[in-house]
Chain A
Amino acid sequence: MKNENVIEVENLTKAFGAFKAVNAISFEVKKGEIFGFLGANGAGKTTAIKMLIGISHPTSGKAKVVDFDVYTQPEAIKRNIGYMSQRFALYDDLTVQENINFFGGIYGLSRKAIRQKSKDSLVELGMHEISSKLVGSLPLGWKQKLSFSVALLHEPKIVFLDEPTGGVDPITRRQFWEMIYKAADQGTTIFVTTHYMDEAEYCDRVSIMVEGKIEALDTPKNLKQQFKVASMNEVFLKLARNIE
């Protein structure tokens, strides 16, 4: 992890009428960091992510993602990040290979680059023998691993993962995290949301949003010390419970 910020957020706010879905949040994320972005349903995570990936205009505050301003350069942001949502977003009616070709094309990769990249990804995923299978026929966990590889095709500086492992079996969930570790090890910044609190422990730092605000932000170790508990699950329960 390098001492170089790839996300800088200051007092970022999104209001819908009088309601502040995101209320003046501030934080930085470093290059190669695995940053966990947690919060209860309705805490404002998705609204915040939408602003960071350049698809929602903030009401006020500042945010820079990969050196680009969220107000003035949202298109540049989109080209420099990867995004994977909790809902599987590949095409079920295309084969594994066709999906890779398609998204490689969308990201503007050359044919040669796509060929090389897809070869590497398929070997890493252990999917080279099933590259001509329809994606719709694969188990969810495989789809999610493929989806992550596709989000990395254009070598983005940051990947946003929105609940990537929901409903995935425990073995594949862990294989997925090994892929995350590997990408982070190679310098890709990972911005991830999850409802699995054991996964929060895998993050370098974790922020917890409660009702539009960031109520805690630190390493899992420090958060556990701060709240005097043994697990991130308890940290989460304590924080979200106190606000009522």
Chain B
Amino acid sequence: MGISLSNIDKSYKKQIAVRNITFDVNPGELFGLIGPDGAGKTTIFRILTTLLLPDNGKATVAGLDIIKDYKAIRNSVGYMPGRFSLYQDLTVEENLNFFATIFGTTIAENYDLIKDIYEQIAPFKDRRAGKLSGGMKQKLALSCALIHKPKVLFLDEPTTGVDPVSRKEFWEMLKRLQKRGITILVSTPYMDEAALCDRIALIQDGEILAIDMPQAVVNKFPKDIYNVKADNMYKLIQTLQRYEHTYSVFPFGEFVHYTDKRVIFKTAELQQHLESSGLNGITIAPTHADIEDAFMELAKK
């Protein structure tokens, strides 16, 4: 009852949106599609929810073919698009009722599934959806996507533009839904959210860069990484970018992540180079790659 895509291609006129997309989501899995704006994430969602036909390739959702069985798919999946797409002029309760009715069910019938999400917005049930805050809209949209007890849930960038606190709460909700046996495909441009998924596909420019467990993607990073710091970050970055032995240099929070081209790399040598370039307060210490390091390395190729 998972999701399966094989060799999916889609172009809009001459513009290639996605190319040769192949991956499987296991039943009950929380699978993340991780990539920036324009990577092709939404195209994949639209194909899987039967809103868009692929040019080539095959895909099934909950064992159903996206072309032959499109009507059955629409009844068994929940979809929360990136843009808020509920009825702004209907109240919270009216929206939920509307979606329940469309799917031939009632709010009461599946209330236990949405209970802990809907309870947070229930005090505002008579407010028009258009007047809700961003966080509340998101919770209502999720409630509407769940009201018919879907087997598979599609969430397209549910946390984009959302602050870290609300993002954390949203992921806690997803984990609880997963425990109810729902297969979840979620996309995000926030790479730190990759770690919260069972498995991820990294995607850029319409192509998949890697598919694996988040930690496995990070473990495959081919280089030793160092945290470098100095009192003047801008000068530090510039100096490292011009250094002949630099393989990569990227700012990461309070540090710069540095990798060296050489097989044998001595930190003392780099320290000396930075000092002679006029930098002060230098620290160099080994660190671990994170998901963004992995993404940038894969995206380079």
A residues whose Cβ falls under 8 Å from a Cβ of B: 39-43, 86, 139-141, 163, 166-172, 174, 177-178, 181-182, 184-185, 195-198, 201-202, 220-221, 231-233, 236-237, 240-241
Contacts and interface: CB of A to CB of B under 8 A. Distances in A.
Contact of A166 (B135, B160, B250, B296): B160
Contacts of A197: 164
Contacts of B204: 169
Contacts of A43: 163
B299 A169 contact: yes
B251 A139 contact: no
18 contacts: A41-B133, A41-B166, A42-B134, A42-B135, A139-B37, A140-B38, A166-B160, A167-B160, A169-B37, A170-B191, A170-B250, A170-B292, A170-B299, A174-B250, A174-B251, A202-B251, A231-B253, A240-B164
Interface string B172-193: 0000000000000000011100
Interface of A is mostly: helix
A114 B7 CA distance: 48
B118 interface: no
B36 A167 contact: yes
Contacts, number: 97
Nearest to B292: A170
B253 A232 contact: yes
Interface of B: 35-39, 133-135, 157, 160-168, 189-191, 204, 233-234, 237, 250-254, 292, 295-296, 299
Contact of B234 (A42, A140, A185, A221): A185
Contacts of A141: 36-37
B263 to A, nearest CB: 25
Contact of B163 (A184, A232, A240): A240
B34 to A, nearest CB: 10
A170 B296 CA distance: 7
A202 B233 contact: yes
Contact of A163 (B161, B167, B190): B161
A233 B39 CA distance: 26
Contact of A171 (B157, B162, B164, B296): B296
B253 A202 contact: yes
A168 B292 CA distance: 12
Given A42-B133, A169-B295, A170-B292, 9 more contacts: A40-B163, A41-B162, A140-B36, A168-B36, A168-B189, A178-B234, A181-B237, A195-B164, A198-B253
A39 B233 CA distance: 25
A55 to B, nearest CB: 21
A43 B133 CA distance: 11
